[in-house]
Structures are given as structure tokens and as C-alpha cells.
Amino acid sequence: MRFDADYKMLIDGKLVDADDKMDVINPATGKPFASCPRASKLDLDASVDAAQRAFKTWKKTSTDERRALLRKAAGLIGENADALASLFTKEQGRPTDLAKQEILGASYWLASTADLDLPVDVTEDTDSRRIEVHHVPLGVVCGIVPWNFPVLLASWKIAPALLAGNTIVLKPSPFTPLCTLKLGELFQEAFPPGVFNVISGGDELGPWMTSHEGFAKISFTGSTATGKRVMESASKDLKRVTLELGGNDAAIVLPDVDVEKVTEQLFAGAFGNTAQICVATKRLYVHEDIYDAVRDKMHALAKAAPVGDGSAQGNMFGPIQNKAQYERVLNLMEDAKKDGLNMLYGSDVPEEGYFIPITIVDNPPEDSRVVKEEAFGPILPMMKFSDVDEVIARANDTEYGLAGAVWSANIEKAVEIANEMETGTVWINQNLQSTPLTPLAGHKQSGLGAENGIYGLREFTQPKSVYIPKSAEAVK
Ligand code: NAD
């Protein structure tokens, strides 16, 4: 199998092209390097029809059969991790060693989710009757994925959807379709025709999917603005939705931390994947006693960090993934400069491609755009605080509620602060962690429902209550 060409969709177990094509850009050069199918409405209909047909038999397979096939799929990803990682770097931009971590992460997620169970719950068991609650599959799932973690986030949908007995049509972002199309080709060997389908397309494909009446559920990851459109579209026929959306995550750093060690972690938590992580630290609140020391160390790390083409050895950070996002982040930086904010720049970046230097904004006002908006790029506002209650209020003063972090040598105090944070996830002295057993769920406008673990798995099912008499006589 080739990873540098032949990008096709997987529909009904067959690799298919579309009449139309679209270019895929390498963000490190800003130039197209491949093309892939641009699905038509007919391609979408064909994938949904195939998934509906396959659902009739897939839902009747045992959980153990489905587990075995998910483990097989996990193995196929693992065996092809190097080839997938180098393709990943070309379309997404991230340095290849880090790209490989995502690929292996997806394999791990498929295998770990396969271990989950959906036991029948019993709510009553008396002499006269037994009431069982079964968790039955919904039908065909529409999976929509963004460009920042295209493979891992796809695995978060594929694994629970299929384990629960649904079938799926998956759509990657138009900016990062290639690795996902190759997953389709690999999974031809794992799943029966129609159980797993991948279609690629332009901006029109997402709305076609969310309004398609053949889907029973939409599992969406992306921005809050798009999430609202998805929910509106799904409301027409009450499709189930899970929405994993944007965030403007705060980290609170107390004065008792080891500045040297913690700052390295803060830096990684803010700028990993060139700050294109939904749960990255996007607002950094540091106690005034250590503010200058943390800021200077952050700036030194930024100046020392190599930024460049992820395919070249030694680069720690790649480009912004696409032109629209690049222009958004540049605009945010220009605005911050115009407002006279103190900008601390990191190392120089290549002129070609969508590169932006790592930038720290030194103590901007709380109401500036760079604090209020999710940047989703390497521009981090760092703010001083003196009072813990006041900083918790500032951290919570946002429409978002995805994740947050507290850093302190005093765990008890940190837990107290964590309990006050209005976020779906909060880390103490760590960040960017997630596990296949632990839900990721956004508060407020960061999402609806949860992914991962039993919490995420249940979202791909419908509870069905069955009242069973103990004898053939009617129960009074
Ligand atoms: P986006 O909302 O622009 O696009 C996400 C996906 O939705 C893409 O596949 C896109 O083609 C599709 N899409 C676009 N318009 C659509 C529509 N009207 N109907 C249906 N689908 C549509 O987001 P993005 O720019 O790709 O990703 C960045 C955003 O995703 C950030 O806000 C980030 O915080 C968020 N994100 C959240 C999580 C999480 O788990 N909460 C994880 C990763 C990224």
C-alpha cells in the first residue's frame, strides 16, 4: 500500500474516487502536494446507504466480535505508524516524531476502548418481575473531525461508535483528509463492508451530512461557532449530538511552585502542536511574587525553541495548519501590537509557509482580545494576580469551560481551587492529559455530552428498558 498517493474514499468496503478533486496544502510551504476526492451528494448518499445496510447485521454481532475487529484495526495502525506519521507531517505540519505519537495514540485508543463493556443494568428484580436496561446502538453515526488532531480525534469516534454496535461515516477536515483516507484503506481489512466508511469533501460536505436524514447521531469536534450550526441542523429530526468544542483554558500558578521546572511544563502545555490544542493553556495567570521569573523563563524557552518544517530533523514546533487560521492569528497579533501591548517574541521562523513566532503577551488587560478570544495559535497572554478568589473569578469569566490547570506545591489548596473552576477537566501540576477511560466534556459553550470511557460510549447508545415477568401470567 502506498501512503504518498492514491487517496480514495472507503464506501461499502470499496475504495472509490469522486468526480471532483481537491488540493491538499502542505502548511510548511503553503503549496499543494496532493489531491483527494471531493465527495458529491451522491457519494454521501452511497456511504449512508451502505452504513444503514451494514447496521442490520453489525448490531447483531457480539461485543466480543466487535472488540476483536477494533483490536485488529488498532494493530493495522500500529504496523503502519511510520508511514502514517510522515504523511501526517506533510498535511498537518507537526514534527514527525510527535506526529507518530498521535498515530500510536489512536491505535492505543482503539484497543483500550475495545476493553470497555456495556453491561445490562437491572433496576428491579423481584418475585414478579425483572426490569433490565439495555444500551442499544442508535444506527448510523456521522463523525466530523477537525484538523488539529485528525487521527486521534477520529479514533475517539470510531471506537465507541462501532463497539456499541453502530456503523459510521467519518469526515475529516478538508485541510487534513489524507491520513484518515489511508485509515479507510487499512480498515478495509478490519471491518465488514459498510461498517466503517470515510468520505472527504469541501466546506459543503459537513452541512450536507448534519442535515442528512440517514444519520441517527452526530459526533462532532470543532469550533463552538460550527458546533452551534451542527446542533441547529440536528434539531430538525432530533439526531443525537455530542459536541466537543472550543476552549479558552486558564492555568493558575501559585507562588510556591518550583519556577524552573514548572515553567517548562507551562511552556509545553501552552505551545504544544503550535498551540493548536483545544485543551492548551490559553490564559496563564501567575502570582505576582513569581510573575517576572516565570515570564523571563517562558521568553527564554520561546527564543530557544526551533520552529520550522516538521519534516526536517530538530524542529520542535511546526506551522499553523492552514491559511485561514494563520491569518486569524496574525490579525490577533496585529491588534495586540496596535493596542501597545508588550509582546515578547520567540525564535525566528521561516518566511515560506504558515509560520508564526511563539509570542508571549506580557500582562495585557483582562478585556483585551488576546485574553478574551480562543487564539488557537502561538500567542499566549500571561497575567499577574495577587488574590486567589479574584483569579478564580477571572479564570471563570468566559463563555468557555473546557479545561484548566492549577500549579502549586500545596495539593490540598490546589484541589480547593480546582473544585471552583467551571471546566469539564482540571489538572493539578500537569496538563494536556487524557485517558481512554476518562471523559472529556466541555462545560458551558465548550461542548455538550462527553467523549471517552463509559461516559462517551453510552452517548452512542439508547437506553432501552425491558420489563420481564417471572411467570407467563400478566403482571398487575
Ligand atoms: P471547525 O469548526 O471549523 O471545523 C471542524 C469540522 O467541522 C471540520 O471537519 C469542518 O469541515 C466541519 N464543518 C465546518 N462547517 C460545518 C458545518 N456547518 N456543519 C458541519 N460540519 C462543518 O473547527 P477547526 O477549525 O477544524 O478546529 C479548531 C476548533 O476545534 C477549535 O475551536 C478547537 O478548540 C476545537 N477543538 C475542540 C476539541 C475538543 O475536544 N473539545 C478538540 C479539538 C479541537
* pLDDT greater than 90 at residue 431: yes
Per-residue pLDDT, averaged over 115-133, amounts to 97
Per-residue pLDDT, averaged over 28-44, amounts to 98
- Residue 405 and residue 420: Cα distance in Å, rounded? 11
Helix (H) or strand (E) holding 178: helix 178-187
**Which atom of ligand 1 is nearest the CA belonging to 209?**
20
88: Cα within 13 Å, side-chain hemisphere:
28
CA 348 to ligand 1 center in whole angstroms? 29
Q: Is the CB of 273 under 6 A from ligand 1?
A: no
Strand order across the 167-171 sheet: 14-16, 9-11, 196-198, 167-171, 140-144, 217-221, 240-244, 447-448
* pLDDT greater than 80 at residue 475: no
What is the band of 417 on the pLDDT scale with cuts at 50, 70, 90? very high
CA-closest candidate to residue 400, choices 379, 380, 371, 436 = 371
pLDDT tens profile 280-336: 999 999 999 999 999 999 999 999 999 999 999 999 999 999 999 999 999 999 999
| Cell triple for 470 | 417471572
List, by residue number, the catalytic residues: 244, 278
What's the CA angle centered on 411, arms 245 and 288, to 5 degrees?
A: 80
Per-residue pLDDT, averaged over 447-459, amounts to 98
**Which atom of ligand 1 is nearest the CA belonging to 171?**
9
Predicted local distance difference test score (pLDDT) of residue 184: 98
CA-closest candidate to residue 339, choices 363, 308, 322, 364 = 364
**Which atom of ligand 1 is nearest the CA belonging to 226?**
2
Pocket probe for ligand 1: among 38, 92, 142, 148, the residue whose CB has the most ligand atoms within 8 Å is 148
pLDDT tens profile 6-34: 999 999 999 999 999 999 999 999 999 99
* pLDDT greater than 90 at residue 476: no
What is the band of 146 on the pLDDT scale with cuts at 50, 70, 90? very high
Closest residue to atom 6 of ligand 1, CA basis: 146
Q: Is the CB of 245 under 6 A from ligand 1?
A: yes
Q: Is the CB of 146 under 6 A from ligand 1?
A: yes
Q: How far is CA 332 from the centre of its chain?
A: 23
Average pLDDT value over all residues in the chain: 98
What is the band of 474 on the pLDDT scale with cuts at 50, 70, 90? confident
* pLDDT greater than 90 at residue 250: yes
What is the band of 373 on the pLDDT scale with cuts at 50, 70, 90? very high
Q: Is the CB of 207 under 6 A from ligand 1?
A: yes
Helix (H) or strand (E) holding 14: strand 14-16
Q: Is the CB of 28 under 6 A from ligand 1?
A: no
Q: Is the CB of 201 under 6 A from ligand 1?
A: no
Burial grade of 296 (CB within 10 A; 0-12, 13-18, 19 or more): middle
Would you list the DSSP string of 374-400?
---SSEEEEEEES-HHHHHHHHH-SS-
What is the band of 473 on the pLDDT scale with cuts at 50, 70, 90? confident
Looking at residue 346, the DSSP 8-state letter turns out to be: -
> Residue 455: how many CB atoms within 10 A of its CB?
16
What is the band of 220 on the pLDDT scale with cuts at 50, 70, 90? very high
